[in-house]
Amino acid sequence: MQEKVKVFNENRNAHLKPMPTYARLLDIQSEMGELAKEYLKATKYGTEDFNLTKDFELEFGDVLYSLLSLSNDLNFSAENSLDLVLKKYQERLTKNNNMGSSN
């Protein structure tokens, strides 16, 4: 997925230069807000069970695209980051029987 985003961005005039990191982080925050809004809409503000909607799926894609673009901009592997966090969670599960931090 990360390579697909890299190729997409490299072939677009709007992405010839990496977005400044602070702007990318703000974009991710904005996209997360839009994802949360779609969840609220899909559940009628928590009064109904969640059913996947096309709008929720699109907003999730926006978040994922923005995160993968950030990892490309900063030149690190998103997959490696995921592997590291899964290892961290597994260690917490083994030690504390939950994934939350103990701090």
- Pick 2-96's CATH classification: 1.10.287.1080, 1.20.120.450, 1.10.1740.10, 3.40.50.300: 1.10.287.1080
13 DSSP 8-state letter: G
In total, the chain counts a number of residues equal to: 103
Within its chain, how far is the Cα of 45 from the centroid? 22
Cut 0.85: pTM above it:
yes
Structure tokens at 47: 């009064």
Each residue's pLDDT tens digit, 7-44? 998 888 765 567 899 999 999 999 999 999 999 999 99
Domain segments of the chain as ranges: 2-96
Give the Cα separation of 36 and 42 in Å (integer): 10
The phi, psi pair for 25, rounded to 5°, reads -65, -40
